[in-house]
Structures are given as structure tokens and as C-alpha cells.
Structure 1
Amino acid sequence: MATTTSVMRSEIADQSEALRATVDALLPLTPEIARLARETRQVLFIARGSSDNAAVYGSYLLQAHAGRLATLASPSIATTYGAKVDLSGVLAVAISQSGRTEEIVDTMRWAADCGARTVGVTNKAGSPLTEAADVALVTQAGTEVAVPATKTYTTQLAALAVLALGLGAELEPDELRRVPEAIDGVLAQPTDQLDTIVERLVGVHGAVVSGRGMAFSTALEGALKLKEACYLHAMGLSYADLLHGPIAVVDRDTPALIVAAESSPTLSGTVELARRVTSAGAPAYGIGGGDALAQACDVSVPGPDLPEWLAPIGLILPAQLITEQLARRLGYNPDTPRGLGKVTQTS
């Protein structure tokens, strides 16, 4: 039976305060990050699940604004193959909400053994990840009870924004301090359009969630949420990849959720994707992107009032709200999706 309220919904509402506390706690650590920056050239992100989607944001952010090559690790190289890789000059950034996912902690330790310096991003002070890292960025999300990550995910994004500042990105820290206010603005928006999208998703078995650049991380995380809590066959794709064949799956019964920051250089391509989807007779639902994307979509939800480098912190909120509401509308409890727990151990 559907629940009338959920812990997930209350934790979505907690995000502005969690972000405010996280930014206040982590911005003073930029000198420690800068010290590591002087010893490294490249960045290797180590993560799984929602944390891996956060790492995608970090990768785009560091390459676009800090001038550093950033890649995503394959933890099995360390944990399964036991390979030795020269990581001198590399900053390994391990991201784990719990700080105790063995695969992530072990891979960060492996990276250190291979010559890397290390940063741990986690919500748990005193966890194995914080104890093993050269610098620990401990987010201030508080206890997260619902299995789908909401406030732990957005505070991870904030931690990666601080990382970018510490690594030399010429961005404005005061804009980061403005994020909680922008999150409050998203949460205060009228729900009519969001409610309409939820009702139109009832009965579909699959969806495509698409964005590009900084917003690609939001597409991946939005698709993951729909899979976790609503059991939809949701695919998160860059629109560049979507146009290389998978767009064939988008049809009347497989809608596209299309996400963009209003100030992004990828916005024009995102708008063209929405027009192509609707011209093919498929539904297109927008998240963010301002009037341009709204006019190209059947229904659209406004995004946050934030510059592109911070927009993903707010763009994920409508996807979280859609997921929570759709799960309850379908009769599922979004707090406890089947087969999932807060800590997933892999090898």
C-alpha cells in the first residue's frame, strides 16, 4: 500500500540546512586541499552508486574549471585484479556516504600504495575512509534513514565544489554559500507541473533521463532514483550518446526527462533534443533549462537560481521529488526499496 508520508520526503526537505552546514564546515579546509594540489596533477575518483554520479559532476567541474584531468576509477583493478598502477602525481578522491564500504576504502588505500595522495568524502566522521585519507571532507547531512540518497548526495556535490575551489578553480565561494537559499526556492515552487509529470509517468515501464556536461550527473542520478524506488527501467544518458542510437527507445510509452542548467553552454543542444523527442510523438518532460527548455517540452519544472557549476545541486531536487511521489502513487514505500540497503559491499 502507498504510504501517506515518507522519510525520503522529509529528508529532501532537510537539504538546504544540510548544505548550509556542509559548506560552513568544508570551505575552511580549502588550504589543506591546496596543499595536496601542489603535489598532484590529475584526479582519480573512486565511488559507486549515487556517489559515482557525484563523481561524474566532480569530473566535469575539475576539468572545466580547475584545469585538471579527472577520471573515474575501476575499483576492480585494485580489489579483483590486484594490479599495480603508477599513480604518482594523482589525487585519489574516494566518495562514500557511509565511509565504510570496503571496496571504496580498499581502493583508496591501494591508490595510496601506488603513489597517490588521497581525499575522502563521506558523511561519517571517524569512519575508515576518514582515517585512511590524507584529507577528509566530512559532509554534514546528519542521519539519512531512507535508502535512496538525497541529502547525502547533494552534500557530496557541495564537498566536490569545495574540492574544486581548493584545487584552484577560479570560481566564487560566495556563490556556493548561496546554494541553500536556492534549494529553499526549489522546494517552495508550486507543485502543479511536478504533479502532472508524476501522473503521466504512472503506467510507463521505462524512461530516458538525459542531460549533458555538468547536468549529466543529474541525469544519471535521476535515472538511478527512478530505478531504485519506482522500479522503472530508467536510463541515464548524455544527449550526445542518446542521439547515437538509443533514442530509438524513446516513444509514446517511454518518455524522456530532460535536464539542463539555464546558463549552460549545453542548453541549446538540450533544447534540440526535446524538440526531436516531441516531434517523434514521445513525451518530453523538462527539469531546469529556463524558458527555452520549457517551451520545447510537454511539461517542465523550473530549476534552481544557480550558475552552471552549482546547478546540479539544485537540479536533482525535482527528480527526487518526482521519484518519491511516483513511488507512493504506485503503492511502493520509497524509504525501503526492495533488495537495497544503505551500505552495499562488493568486491
Structure 2
Amino acid sequence: MTTTTSFMRSEIAEQPDALRATLDTLLPLIPEIAALGRQTRQVLFIARGSSDNAAVYGSYLIQAHSGRLATLASPSIATTYGAKVDLTGVLAVAISQSGRTEEIVDTMAWAADCGARTIGITNGADSPLTRTADIAMVTRAGGEHAVPATKTYTTQLAALAVLALGLGAGLDRTELETVPDAIDRVLARPGDEVDAIVERLVGVQGAVVSGRGMAFSTALEAALKLKEACYLHAMGLSYADLLHGPIAVVDRATPALLTAANSGPTLDGTVALAERVSAAGAPVYAVGGGSALAGACDLSVPMPDLPEWLAPIALIVPAQQITERLARSLGYDPDSPRGLGKVTQT
């Protein structure tokens, strides 16, 4: 395994401090978010790419714990079709790492014109998104040089956890404040389990990445990272969708990478999926899931015991490490994947 340092590797290591700074900045906004929330009844997320994967986490979190319907927008309804939709009573939450993606900024403006109130979540402190949203939730990830998002993604998840608290989720904010320390513990480990999974992935052409509920966002983001930086044909799927047909692609040459919190209502199903994949003769690896999932997998990366609602903020970190190390093992530069840039305009 090469020891060459990449920006991506450095930025993975910066995540605990980025999360601490972000929480220090955003937790005081809870009363302001609550006041805006009282004017709305449901949430519409506007995002693309990694930010869209973060929105999946936000959607599950708000529906499960804030008692509101939350959905993901189709920006082309605004930018391509120019349709008018009644968004009275809707809180439109636009998520953009840079705050400068025109499609996202334009769709948020469209939502406001249709009657929505707006929140912008971005790492771009002085950006069109912050200037036009009713509330700007500016993450404090600092500069991110690698194209694959790492600390900007995890700080978006932290912002969404704060949003859920502001919208009335009956959750303990002190648990959220423990997340940076938990990720410190993940990063402090030698990484033998990560290296072992990377060694098994060298040479494969495809993989299936799966999780459910809160962890579904992690599966989507992990698959995206493997596609972006390692050029792997990685499919991110809910295990419910996987069982409806695509499980046929999992075989000896196509491993499964499963992710789950160490406890929660989706863990048993994830363990059952691991057992089924293993019985079919396919390699199966895990991030999280405690001893129950580890016992059903060939290799696993243990995770701290965070509650399910916060586990995705930490679960993505080993997937980022796997991506960065696999890219370098394959001779690719994880910082500059071909054909990609930090800001994508569509």
C-alpha cells in the first residue's frame, strides 16, 4: 500500500475539527429554525450529487423524528419545465457545497416564488445561496481541495441534524455534540480492517453498496465515491430495493459492502442480507453494524456506538478511507478524478 499523502486523505482527517466548528456555529440557530418551521408543515430538499445523498439522510431523519413529510425535489421541474407548483407551507432546504451551483440556487429561488420559505446549507459563506435564503446555515469545513467531497459532506449531515432539532425532533443535542470525538476514535485506529477490504477490492470491476433507513444515505455516498475516484461500477441501493431483483448481480466477482448503525430497526435486515449474500458465494464486507453484522461478513470495520440518528455522520468515514486508499492502490489520483470539478453546472 502506497503511503503517498493526498489532499483527500488530509481532508478526511480534518473532519472532527470541521464538525466541531460547524456545530459551534449552527446550534445557536435552532430557535431561528424553529420560528421558520412554525410557518411550514413539510420539507422539500433541493440538491445534487453528494449534497443529494446528504438530503436523503435529512429526509429520513426529519420524517422519523420531526413528524413532517420530507421529499427530494426534481430541480428540472423548475429549471427545464418552468412549472408553477403551490409550495405554500413548504420549507425548501437547498444544499450545495459551494453555494454557487446555478441549478440549485435557481431552484431555491423558484421555490420561494412558489410560496416556500427557504434555508440554504452551504460551505460557501459569501455565495448566492447564503444571500438569497431566509436562513443561511453555513458549515465550517474550511477549504476542500480534493474533488470528492469529504468534510463538506459530513458537515452537511451535521447541519441537517441541527435542522431536525430546530424542526422539533425529540432528540438529544448533547449526543450530536459527541460525534466529532467519535470520528476522532475512528481516525485514530491503525486502519488494518480498511486496508484488508481495499486489498480485496483491487481487481474487481463492480460492487454493490447497501444500507437502509438512515444508513441508506451512506450507501449512496459510498457508491458515489467509489465511482468518482476509483472508476468502479458501484451501485448504491437500499437493501429493500436490492432484494427486489438487483441482488442477482452480486456474485463471486461482485462483492457487497453493507453499512448500518450498531443498533436500530434496520440492523436485523442488514444482517439477514449479509447472510444471504454470503450463502450465494459472494464476498461481503461491512462498515458498522456491531458484532451482529461483523459475524455475518468476511471483513468488517467496527464503529463507535453512536445512536442510529447520528451514525451516518461517522459511517461514511471508513468508506472515504477505502475510496482514497483504493484509488491510490489502482494508480489513480483521488484528488482529481477525470472529468470532474468542484462545482458542477447543469
Residue 15 (structure 2) pairs with residue 15 (structure 1):
yes
Residues 104-253 of structure 1: pairs in structure 2 closer than 5 A: 104-253=104-253
Which secondary structure state, in structure 1, belongs to the residue aligned with residue 333 of structure 2? coil
Shift of 1:145: 0.3
Query: Using the alignment, how far apart are the partners of 1:168 and 1:309 within structure 2?
Result: 14
What is the percent sequence identity of the aligned residues? 81
Partner of 2:275: 275
CA contact (8 A) 1:3 1:333 kept: no
Partner of 1:52: 52
Shift of 1:177: 0.7
Unaligned runs of 5+ in 2: none
CA contact (8 A) 1:62 1:164 kept: yes
Question: Which shows bigger deviation, 54-63 or 189-198?
Answer: 189-198
Partner of 1:63: 63
Query: Using the alignment, how far apart are the partners of 1:250 and 1:47 within structure 2?
Result: 30
CA contact (8 A) 1:40 1:91 kept: yes
Query: Using the alignment, how far apart are the partners of 1:203 and 1:77 within structure 2?
Result: 41
Shift of 1:109: 0.2
Query: Using the alignment, how far apart are the partners of 2:224 and 2:304 within structure 1?
Result: 21
Count of equivalent residues: 345
Query: Using the alignment, how far apart are the partners of 2:298 and 2:4 within structure 1?
Result: 28
Runs of 4+ in 1 over 4 A off after TM superposition: none
Query: Using the alignment, how far apart are the partners of 1:305 and 1:125 within structure 2?
Result: 33
1:154-182 per-residue CA deviation (whole Å, 9 max, x = no partner) reads 00000000000000001011111111100
Partner of 1:27: 27
User: Which amino acid letter does the alignment assign opposite residue 344 of structure 2?
Assistant: T
Partner of 2:299: 299
Shift of 1:3: 7.6
Unaligned runs of 5+ in 1: none
Query: Using the alignment, how far apart are the partners of 2:159 and 2:170 within structure 1?
Result: 16
Which secondary structure state, in structure 1, belongs to the residue aligned with residue 183 of structure 2? helix
Partner of 2:84: 84
User: Which amino acid letter does the alignment assign opposite residue 93 of structure 1?
Assistant: V
Partner of 2:260: 260
Query: Using the alignment, how far apart are the partners of 1:331 and 1:180 within structure 2?
Result: 31
Query: Using the alignment, how far apart are the partners of 2:42 and 2:178 within structure 1?
Result: 29
Query: Using the alignment, how far apart are the partners of 1:303 and 1:327 within structure 2?
Result: 23
Shift of 1:126: 1.5
Shift of 1:303: 1.9
Query: Using the alignment, how far apart are the partners of 2:156 and 2:95 within structure 1?
Result: 8
Partner of 1:73: 73
User: Which amino acid letter does the alignment assign opposite residue 282 of structure 1?
Assistant: A
User: Which amino acid letter does the alignment assign opposite residue 32 of structure 2?
Assistant: E
1:237-267 per-residue CA deviation (whole Å, 9 max, x = no partner) reads 0000000000000000000000000122100
Shift of 1:217: 0.1
Question: Which shows bigger deviation, 306-315 or 187-196?
Answer: 187-196
Shift of 1:200: 0.4
Which secondary structure state, in structure 2, belongs to the residue aligned with residue 300 of structure 1? strand
User: Which amino acid letter does the alignment assign opposite residue 169 of structure 1?
Assistant: A
Query: Using the alignment, how far apart are the partners of 2:144 and 2:264 within structure 1?
Result: 31
Query: Using the alignment, how far apart are the partners of 2:200 and 2:125 within structure 1?
Result: 42
User: Which amino acid letter does the alignment assign opposite residue 339 of structure 1?
Assistant: G
Shift of 1:191: 1.4
Query: Using the alignment, how far apart are the partners of 1:187 and 1:275 within structure 2?
Result: 29
Q: Pairwise CA RMSD of aligned residues?
A: 0.7
Partner of 1:286: 286
Shift of 1:305: 2.7
User: Which amino acid letter does the alignment assign opposite residue 240 of structure 1?
Assistant: A
User: Which amino acid letter does the alignment assign opposite residue 243 of structure 2?
Assistant: L
CA contact (8 A) 1:97 1:124 kept: yes
- TM-score under structure 1 length normalisation: 0.99
User: Which amino acid letter does the alignment assign opposite residue 236 of structure 1?
Assistant: G
1:98-143 per-residue CA deviation (whole Å, 9 max, x = no partner) reads 0000000000000000000000000011200000100000000000
Query: Using the alignment, how far apart are the partners of 2:75 and 2:142 within structure 1?
Result: 27
User: Which amino acid letter does the alignment assign opposite residue 19 of structure 2?
Assistant: L
CA contact (8 A) 1:56 1:72 kept: yes
Query: Using the alignment, how far apart are the partners of 1:249 and 1:186 within structure 2?
Result: 31
Partner of 1:329: 329
Query: Using the alignment, how far apart are the partners of 1:138 and 1:3 within structure 2?
Result: 34
CA contact (8 A) 1:284 1:297 kept: yes
User: Which amino acid letter does the alignment assign opposite residue 331 of structure 1?
Assistant: G
Shift of 1:205: 0.3
User: Which amino acid letter does the alignment assign opposite residue 279 of structure 1?
Assistant: A
- TM-score under structure 2 length normalisation: 0.99
1:62-85 per-residue CA deviation (whole Å, 9 max, x = no partner) reads 000000000000000000000000
Shift of 1:194: 1.1
